[in-house]
């Protein structure tokens, strides 16, 4: 709770104001039955019509004051709740942005999205609910007790008996109800899961003739959900009327015992009527408070999920200012992996073991190897999405852990395996690489990336909109835009992580030719599966199960590296190899 | 008593989060054909007509007993008042009787309310069960084109969210509506019997109440839909930035992304607080109107009681009644909204149920029991969209055991042939014959048991690895499963997992690698032992060394089987008996590798461009 409270700090003044307003509203509400009792006991009984009228006007004023307070409370609580929600949402999102891939993987994208949106909304609702109702209920309850006692101390003793009974009923209900509600949610999730699998796997299901099996699976989940839902709803059907009956019977008891007091002359009828109203007020407030406690676990779940994000420190931090080194951009960039070993958290075996190689500007170094050989991990380490376990990665002679992340990443143009684009125009997406790039730079980058043709064929050229996730573009087009985005940056280091796989052979070839002409003064790192993509690199690093199996040119490796030879023979024919 | 309804409503609001009355304020969607949808939805309730009648009777009874109770309580109060003031004293025997009657009323009220909810729970849940079942049944009859033209979220939302809205509306709103109607009428009648004059005074508040709540509801709806819109935008932005997390980091876009976030967040705040504030006004405003009624009754009633024109207990009853009837009125407004959105949801569900189904299997369908795998495609014409043909006149003859390779750039429409062979889509002209039988003359089950398929997007479900492999053949023994896994070279990695074959794959199967997933789908196909294989770039995600082993296994598997292979890799297709070259959604060439090279057409171009690239001696 601590972290979340910290973000609430600026809202304390308005929150206190709301509570004050609610307090005044409660007073006005509590005052009305007393005034009514006075009308009965001092007006009607005595026959003082003037008093009745005066009391009426007074009641109107009190009610008006109550409403004014309620409106003001509603205004300030809305401002407080949504304002807090806004700040909290920002804090969560900003924290997530600062996460390295390690923290990011731990939570998962879907979960992080829910935490930023739904969970914050939940908390926001809770804050508003708490300000308006949770503050009101105890105030009304305490106030009602005081007022009831002031009417008749003797009769008020029945409150001592009623409150625990009602509280016990509510608690019992929560004990049974909460797990059942949880069960419903789980069963609903299960139904969703089955259905989603049916949608994504429709071709496989039909191909394997498993329609009926899947229908049975769905029906089982459906039936299970229905049974629980019927049970829960029937239980709830008993809850509300039962509670109401309990409260109403309490009123009956109050009239009976109160009647005795009236007969004794110790209580006036108007006071008994007021007492009844206070009694109702107490019991309803109690029910509201208990409801809050029932609701609390749900909101608390959201609170905890947000807390988990806010309390997670990014695993990769910039070096302290005095230790940070900012190397003067070297004439010729230089990237060196020195005995790098890395293991994903929780993994048994390291994904990279003792990897060393060196590449400098003007050179193309290709990384090749099977799935799980550690190719993408190697790239992630260079970008410092993760930190190495041992060994070091040096850029222009400086360990990247000594560089501010911004400085490091400014040097790199990264093209990921899956071309990720953002919604916005084509030009916006390319400018993502360099925010202040001029039109000519953008155009040039697109041209080199072999994207110019299809961009110009789009209805509005560079201003054409890219839909979220780039769904209106083909895989190859997305990849070319992602490449243009890296090119416009004119970085010292290029990383192509299997970036040519979505391209057809022709475009692939043209693109690599254009790249060679355009980029002559940078380090180029290409991760690839296709031999044809890497065979003309100056240096090929062959990874096998996380270890370097060989480093050399295509020709050298063919002779010296059996792993490489195997890869080559599986992909190329005799005449292509030479 | 006077706080009863209000608190009940607040309780509902707490329970439902944004649901409950908030939902009534927030949503404003309408069904296009409300009447037709309503009639159809009624059809689903018909089997429960008896129970619904019971619910109606119970609701009326429960509400009636509820309405009577203040009047009865008033009798006790009157006796106390008059008894204590006259010398005769209070008749406690009478009061006892009255209170007993009152207790009876309260208990009956509760019992009937319980009974009504209890019965309705069964009706509502069984109805939505039936709806869900029908949707699922429908989904399994819909053609693939339905799935291909919609996002999963869209379909999912209809089965879950929309059905959920219907369910909660049936469960609560319908009975609430009955109760509210009975309560309003009953209360007014009771009030009239007590004092027509005071009733008139109280009713004067009514138009003001409905006008005010109407105004507030209208405003708050506007703000709520604004809030919904910005929440959606914010969601979209967060989703986009988080899926693109790597790029955001690599390109140092954190600041930029946060700026965008702040802009949307600020907009969200400015509508959200207004939505909350305005909707929060309903309560105090209704309260004020209630209190005015209360005060007028207290003062005017006080005078009447003093003049002896009204009993004190009746005054008390009037106060309670005046509290009671305004609440159902505000409630009705929000229930009407909820029912409207439920109808809109029902309409979306019915839309699914009305989709056109796949043509049924022919009644006198033939069954191939021992398929050999000869495939003949004759004069096939097909296109996904009107006027855009993928195949104009496709003719292919494939004999048992032969391999057909389909090549071409991405997005060239290579999966179309798979769609046709499996009858995911039907040809528009011409025919596809397996062993001389038109596939439209075969039952789909029979046709699909002839084919084995390994698609590029590996589909696995949440369950154990064993179950996922056994998906290929339900009755497979443990030994057969292991053999299939071995043949697909999956056995070794499976055994390195902590739980081996019992390892449960999670939802996205992200606990194993892409290559491993591929291996499992291959094992699944191997286990199914089909006559014809369809391999859709099946091995492109498997690491190169394992791929060699898989290819060996595949070759063994392909022996005696007809195979259709979609591949990027030219080396894998060189040995094909027939190559189909596709470009921009159409077959541009077909023939063997040698024939196509000699033709010096698109294929030759494709082939040599790759060749030329790999021959390039020097890199810049």
* Element housing B535 (H / E): strand B532-536
Q: Is the pLDDT of residue A122 over 80?
A: yes
**Smallest Cα distance from A544 to chain B, Å:** 10
Q: Is the pLDDT of residue B511 over 80?
A: no
- pLDDT of the residue at B418: 83
d(CA B606, CA B599): 12
Q: Is-contact A501 A480, C-beta < 8 A?
A: no
Question: Picking from B2-6, B55-59, B277-281, which range would have the lowest pLDDT averaged per residue?
Answer: B2-6
- Residue among B251, B257, B254 at smallest CA distance from A485: B251
Mutate which of B223, B298, B442, B473 to test chain A, going by most A C-beta atoms within 10 A? B298
Q: What is the mean pLDDT of residues A2-26?
A: 89
How many whole angstroms from its chain centre is CA A532? 42
Q: Is-contact B239 A393, C-beta < 8 A?
A: no
Nearest residue in chain B measured CA to CA from A519? B620
d(CA B480, CA B325): 72
- Residue among A426, A422, A425, A443 at smallest CA distance from A488: A443
d(CA A273, CA A251): 10
Question: Picking from A79-88, A157-166, B20-29, which range would have the lowest pLDDT averaged per residue?
Answer: B20-29
Chain-wide mean pLDDT for chain A? 84
- pLDDT of the residue at B10: 32
Q: Is the pLDDT of residue B31 over 80?
A: no
- Residue among B435, B360, B348 at smallest CA distance from B160: B348
- For the segment(s) A1-139+296-317, the CATH number from 3.30.420.40, 1.10.540.10, 1.20.1560.10, 3.20.20.70 is 1.20.1560.10
Spell out which residues of chain A touch residue B15, defining contact as CB-CB under 8 Å. Answer: 291, 295
Whether the predicted interface score ipTM is above 0.85: no
Interval B204-228: pLDDT, tens: 877 877 788 788 878 888 888 888 8
d(CA B154, CA B139): 13
Q: A248-286 burial by CB neighbour count: b if 16+ within 10 A, else e? A: bbbbbbbbbbbbbbbbeeebbbbbbbbbbbbbbbbbbbb
Interval A329-342: pLDDT, tens: 556 678 999 999 99
Question: Picking from A33-37, A351-355, B278-282, B539-543, which range would have the lowest pLDDT averaged per residue?
Answer: B539-543
DSSP conformational letter for A384 = T
**A350 shares contact with chain B (CB less than 8 Å):** no
Q: What is the mean pLDDT of residues B527-533?
A: 86
- pLDDT of the residue at B110: 92
φ, ψ of residue A158 in degrees (nearest 5): -65, -20
d(CA A532, CA A540): 12
How many whole angstroms from its chain centre is CA B7? 32
Does A59 contact B81 at a Cβ distance shorter than 8 Å? no
**Smallest Cα distance from B423 to chain A, Å:** 10
CATH number for the segment(s) A419-490: 3.40.50.300
Q: B92-111 burial by CB neighbour count: b if 16+ within 10 A, else e? A: beebeebbebbbebbebbbb
**Smallest Cα distance from B252 to chain A, Å:** 6
Nearest residue in chain A measured CA to CA from B459? A201
Percent of chain B topping pLDDT 70: 84
Does A209 contact B445 at a Cβ distance shorter than 8 Å? yes
- The residues that bridge with B394 in the sheet, in sequence order, are B380
Higher pLDDT, A407 or B87: A407
Spell out which residues of chain A touch residue B272, defining contact as CB-CB under 8 Å. Answer: 82, 85-86, 124
Does A52 contact B299 at a Cβ distance shorter than 8 Å? yes
Q: Is-contact B349 B387, C-beta < 8 A?
A: no
**B497 shares contact with chain A (CB less than 8 Å):** no
Question: Picking from A85-99, B56-70, B161-175, which range would have the lowest pLDDT averaged per residue?
Answer: B161-175
d(CA B389, CA B391): 5
Nearest residue in chain B measured CA to CA from A29? B291
**B260 shares contact with chain A (CB less than 8 Å):** no
Q: Which two tokens stand for residue A354?
A: 């003792």
Burial class for A406, CB neighbours closer than 10 Å (0-12, 13-18, 19+): exposed
- pLDDT of the residue at A476: 79
Q: What is the mean pLDDT of residues A39-49?
A: 80
- pLDDT of the residue at A108: 77
Whole-angstrom CA distances from A294 to A46, A170, A176, A243, B233 are: 48, 9, 11, 15, 32
Interval B385-426: pLDDT, tens: 777 777 888 888 888 888 888 887 655 566 788 888 888 888
**Smallest Cα distance from B203 to chain A, Å:** 18
Q: What is the mean pLDDT of residues B516-521?
A: 81
- pLDDT of the residue at B222: 85
- Where are the domains positioned within chain B? 31-195+328-355, 196-309, 404-615
Which residues 498-557 of B are in CB contact (within 8 Å) with A?
507, 513-515, 524, 528, 540-548, 551
- Residue among B414, B163, B32, B421 at smallest CA distance from A195: B163
Q: Is the pLDDT of residue B13 over 80?
A: no
DSSP conformational letter for B462 = S
**Smallest Cα distance from A528 to chain B, Å:** 11
DSSP conformational letter for A349 = S
Interval B130-152: pLDDT, tens: 999 999 989 888 888 888 777 77
Three-class secondary structure assignment of A190-241: HHHHHHHHHHHCHHHHHHCCCHHHHHHHHHHHHHHHHHHHHHHHHHHHHHHH
Contacts with A8 (C-beta within 8 Å, 6 or more apart), sequence order: A15, A84, A127
Q: Is the pLDDT of residue A395 over 60?
A: yes
Q: What is the mean pLDDT of residues B455-483?
A: 82
Does B77 contact A535 at a Cβ distance shorter than 8 Å? no
Question: Picking from A48-62, A436-450, B12-26, which range would have the lowest pLDDT averaged per residue?
Answer: B12-26
**Smallest Cα distance from A152 to chain B, Å:** 16
Could you tell me the pLDDT band of residue A347, with boundaries at 50, 70 and 90? low
- pLDDT of the residue at A87: 94
d(CA B547, CA B537): 12
d(CA B113, CA B92): 31
* Element housing B235 (H / E): helix B196-243
Burial class for A444, CB neighbours closer than 10 Å (0-12, 13-18, 19+): middle
Burial class for B370, CB neighbours closer than 10 Å (0-12, 13-18, 19+): exposed
- Residue among A370, A15, A40 at smallest CA distance from B311: A40
Q: Is-contact B603 B589, C-beta < 8 A?
A: yes
Percent of chain A topping pLDDT 90: 17
Same fold, A1-139+296-317 and A419-490: no
- Where are the domains positioned within chain A? 1-139+296-317, 153-266, 332-411+491-578, 419-490
Interval A185-233: pLDDT, tens: 788 888 888 888 888 788 888 887 888 888 888 999 999 999 998 998 8
DSSP conformational letter for A326 = -
Q: Which two tokens stand for residue A16?
A: 């206190």
Parallel, antiparallel or unpaired: strands A523-528 and A539-544: unpaired
Which residues 295-334 of A are in CB contact (within 8 Å) with B?
295
Parallel, antiparallel or unpaired: strands A493-497 and A523-528: parallel
* Element housing B229 (H / E): helix B196-243
> Looking at domain B31-195+328-355, which CATH architecture does it have?
Up-down Bundle (1.20)
- For the segment(s) B404-615, the CATH number from 3.40.50.300, 3.40.50.261, 3.30.70.580, 1.20.1440.230 is 3.40.50.300
- Residue among A145, A141, A148, A139 at smallest CA distance from A70: A139
- pLDDT of the residue at B129: 92
Q: Is-contact A352 A340, C-beta < 8 A?
A: yes
Could you tell me the pLDDT band of residue B585, with boundaries at 50, 70 and 90? low
**B130 shares contact with chain A (CB less than 8 Å):** no
Spell out which residues of chain A touch residue B266, defining contact as CB-CB under 8 Å. Answer: 86
Q: What is the mean pLDDT of residues A409-438?
A: 86
Which residues 499-518 of A are in CB contact (within 8 Å) with B?
502-510, 512-513, 515-518
What's the angle, vertex CA B257, arms to CA B253 and CA B261, rounded to 5?
170
Chain-wide mean pLDDT for chain B? 80
d(CA B580, CA B352): 37
Interval A230-289: pLDDT, tens: 998 888 888 878 888 888 888 888 888 888 888 888 888 888 888 888 888 887 787 777
Which residues 518-557 of A are in CB contact (within 8 Å) with B?
518-520, 529, 531-532, 535-538, 544
Three-class secondary structure assignment of A487-525: HCCCCCEEEEECCCCCCCHHHHHHHHHHHHHHCCCCEEE
- Full-prediction pTM beyond 0.95? no
Parallel, antiparallel or unpaired: strands A398-399 and A390-395: antiparallel
d(CA B556, CA B553): 5
Q: What is the mean pLDDT of residues A542-571?
A: 85
**B236 shares contact with chain A (CB less than 8 Å):** yes
Q: Is B388 helix (H, G, I), strand (E, B) or coil?
A: strand
- Residue among B455, B473, B423 at smallest CA distance from B540: B455
Residue A2 C-beta-side C-alpha neighbours within 13 Å = 2
Fold type of domain A332-411+491-578: Rossmann fold (3.40.50)
Whole-angstrom CA distances from A182 to A178, A179, A188, A235 are: 6, 5, 10, 14
Q: At what angle do helices A505-518 and A475-487 cross, to 10 degrees?
A: 0
- pLDDT of the residue at B464: 87
């Amino acid at each position: 709770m601590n972290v979340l409270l910290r973000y609430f700090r600026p809202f304390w003044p308005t929150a206190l104001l709301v509570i004050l307003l609610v307090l005044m509203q409660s007073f006005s509400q509590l005052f009305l039955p007393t005034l009514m009792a006075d009308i009965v006991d001092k007006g009607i009984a005595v026959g003082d019509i003037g008093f009745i009228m005066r009391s009426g006007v007074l009641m109107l004023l009190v009610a008006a004051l109550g409403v004014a307070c309620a409106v003001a409370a509603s205004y300030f609580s809305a401002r407080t709740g949504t304002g807090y929600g806004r700040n909290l949402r920002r804090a969560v999102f900003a924290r997530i942005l600062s996460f390295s891939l390690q923290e990011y993987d731990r939570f998962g994208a879907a979960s992080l999205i829910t935490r930023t949106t739904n969970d914050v909304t939940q908390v926001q609702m809770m804050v508003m609910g708490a300000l308006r109702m949770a503050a009101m209920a105890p105030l009304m309850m305490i106030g009602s007790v005081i007022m009831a006692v002031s009417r008749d101390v003797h009769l008020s003793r029945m409150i001592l008996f009623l409150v625990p009974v009602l509280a016990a009923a509510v608690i019992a209900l929560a004990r049974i109800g909460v797990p059942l509600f949880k069960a419903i949610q789980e069963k609903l999730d299960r139904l969703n899961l089955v259905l989603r699998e049916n949608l994504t796997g429709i071709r496989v299901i039909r191909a394997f003739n498993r329609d009926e099996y899947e229908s049975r699976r769905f029906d089982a989940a459906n039936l299970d959900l229905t049974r629980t839902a019927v049970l829960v709803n029937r239980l709830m059907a008993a809850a509300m009327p039962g509670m109401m009956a309990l409260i109403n019977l309490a009123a009956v008891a109050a009239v009976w015992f109160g009647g005795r007091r009236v007969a004794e002359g110790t209580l006036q009828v108007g006071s008994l009527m007021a007492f009844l109203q206070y009694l109702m007020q107490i019991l309803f407030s109690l029910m509201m408070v208990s409801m809050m406690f029932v609701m609390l676990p749900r909101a608390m779940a959201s609170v905890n999920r947000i807390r988990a994000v806010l309390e997670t420190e990014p695993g990769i931090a910039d070096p302290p200012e005095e230790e940070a080194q900012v190397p003067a951009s070297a004439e010729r960039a230089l990237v060196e992996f020195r005995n790098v070993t890395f293991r994903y958290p929780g993994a048994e075996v390291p994904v990279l073991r003792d990897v060393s190689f060196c590449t400098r500007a003007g050179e193309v170094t290709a990384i090749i190897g099977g799935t799980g050989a550690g190719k993408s991990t190697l790239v992630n380490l260079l970008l410092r999405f993760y930190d190495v376990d041992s060994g070091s990665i040096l850029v222009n002679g400086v360990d990247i852990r000594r560089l501010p992340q911004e400085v490091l990443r400014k040097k790199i143009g990264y093209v990921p395996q899956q071309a990720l684009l953002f919604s916005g125009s084509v030009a916006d997406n390319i400018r993502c690489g360099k925010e202040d790039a001029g039109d000519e730079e953008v155009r040039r980058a697109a041209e080199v990336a072999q994207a110019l043709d299809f961009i110009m064929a789009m209805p509005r050229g560079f201003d054409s909109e890219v839909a979220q996730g780039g769904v209106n573009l083909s895989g190859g087009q997305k990849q070319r835009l992602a490449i243009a985005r890296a090119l416009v940056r004119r970085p010292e280091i290029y990383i192509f992580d299997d970036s040519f796989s979505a391209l057809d052979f022709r475009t692939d070839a043209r693109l690599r030719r254009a790249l060679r002409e355009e980029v002559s003064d940078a380090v180029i790192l290409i991760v690839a599966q296709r031999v044809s993509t890497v065979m003309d690199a100056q240096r090929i690093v062959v990874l096998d199960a996380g270890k370097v199996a060989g480093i050399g040119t295509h020709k050298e490796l063919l002779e010296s590296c059996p792993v490489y030879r195997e890869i080559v023979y599986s992909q190329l024919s005799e005449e292509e190899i030479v | 008593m006077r706080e009863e309804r209000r608190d009940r409503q607040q309780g509902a609001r707490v329970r439902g989060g944004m649901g409950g009355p908030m939902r009534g304020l927030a949503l404003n969607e309408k069904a296009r054909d409300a009447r037709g949808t309503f009639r159809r939805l009624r059809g689903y309730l018909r089997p429960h007509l008896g129970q619904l009648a019971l619910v109606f009777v119970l609701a009326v009874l429960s509400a009636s007993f509820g309405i009577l109770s203040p009047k009865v309580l008033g009798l006790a109060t009157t006796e106390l008042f008059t008894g204590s003031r006259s010398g005769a004293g209070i008749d406690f025997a009478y009061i006892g009787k009255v209170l007993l009657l009152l207790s009876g009323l309260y208990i009956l009220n509760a019992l009937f309310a319980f009974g009504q909810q209890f019965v309705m729970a069964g009706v509502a849940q069984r109805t939505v069960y039936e709806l869900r079942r029908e949707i699922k049944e429908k989904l399994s009859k819909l053609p693939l084109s339905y799935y291909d033209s919609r996002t999963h979220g869209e379909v999912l939302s209809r089965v879950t969210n929309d059905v959920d809205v219907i369910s909660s509306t049936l469960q609560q709103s319908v009975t609430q509506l009955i109760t509210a109607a009975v309560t309003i009428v009953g209360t007014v009648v009771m009030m009239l019997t007590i004092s027509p004059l005071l009733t008139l005074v109280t009713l004067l508040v009514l138009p003001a109440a409905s006008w005010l709540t109407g105004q507030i509801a209208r405003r708050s709806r506007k703000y709520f839909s604004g809030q919904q819109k910005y929440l959606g935008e914010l969601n979209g932005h967060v989703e986009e930035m988080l899926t693109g997390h790597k790029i955001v980091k690599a390109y140092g876009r954190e600041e930029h992304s946060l700026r965008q976030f702040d802009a949307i967040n600020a907009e969200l705040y400015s509508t959200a607080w207004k939505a909350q504030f305005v909707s929060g006004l309903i309560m105090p405003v209704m309260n004020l109107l209630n209190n005015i009624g209360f005060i007028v009754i207290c003062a005017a009633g006080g005078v009447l009681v003093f003049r002896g024109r009204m009993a004190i207990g009746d005054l008390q009853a009037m106060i309670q009644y005046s509290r009671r009837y305004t609440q159902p009125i505000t409630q009705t407004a929000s229930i009407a909204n909820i029912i409207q959105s439920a109808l809109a949801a029902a309409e979306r569900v019915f839309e699914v149920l009305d989709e056109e189904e796949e043509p049924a299997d022919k009644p006198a369908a033939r069954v191939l029991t021992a398929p050999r795998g000869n495939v003949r495609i004759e004069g096939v014409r097909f296109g996904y969209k009107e006027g855009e043909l993928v195949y104009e006149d496709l003719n292919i003859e494939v004999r048992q055991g032969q391999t057909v390779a389909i090549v071409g750039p991405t997005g060239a429409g290579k999966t179309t042939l798979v769609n046709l062979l499996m009858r995911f889509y039907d040809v528009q002209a011409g025919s596809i014959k397996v062993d001389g039988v038109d596939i439209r003359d075969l039952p789909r089950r029979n046709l699909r048991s002839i084919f084995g398929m390994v698609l590029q997007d590996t589909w696995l479900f949440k369950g154990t690895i064993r179950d996922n492999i056994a998906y290929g053949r339900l009755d497979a023994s443990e030994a057969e499963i292991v053999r299939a896994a071995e043949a697909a070279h999956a056995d070794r990695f499976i055994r390195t997992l902590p739980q081996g074959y019992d390892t449960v794959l999670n939802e996205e199967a992200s606990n194993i690698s892409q290559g491993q997933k591929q291996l499992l789908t291959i094992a699944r196909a191997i286990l199914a032992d089909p006559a014809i294989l369809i391999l859709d770039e099946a091995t492109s995600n498997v690491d190169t060394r394992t791929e060699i082993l898989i290819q060996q296994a595949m070759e063994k598997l392909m022996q005696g089987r007809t195979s259709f292979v979609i591949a990027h890799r030219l080396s894998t297709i060189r040995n094909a008996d027939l190559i189909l070259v596709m470009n921009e959604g159409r077959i541009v060439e077909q023939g063997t590798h040698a024939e196509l090279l000699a033709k010096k057409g698109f294929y030759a171009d494709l082939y040599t461009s790759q060749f030329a690239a790999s021959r390039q001696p020097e890199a810049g």
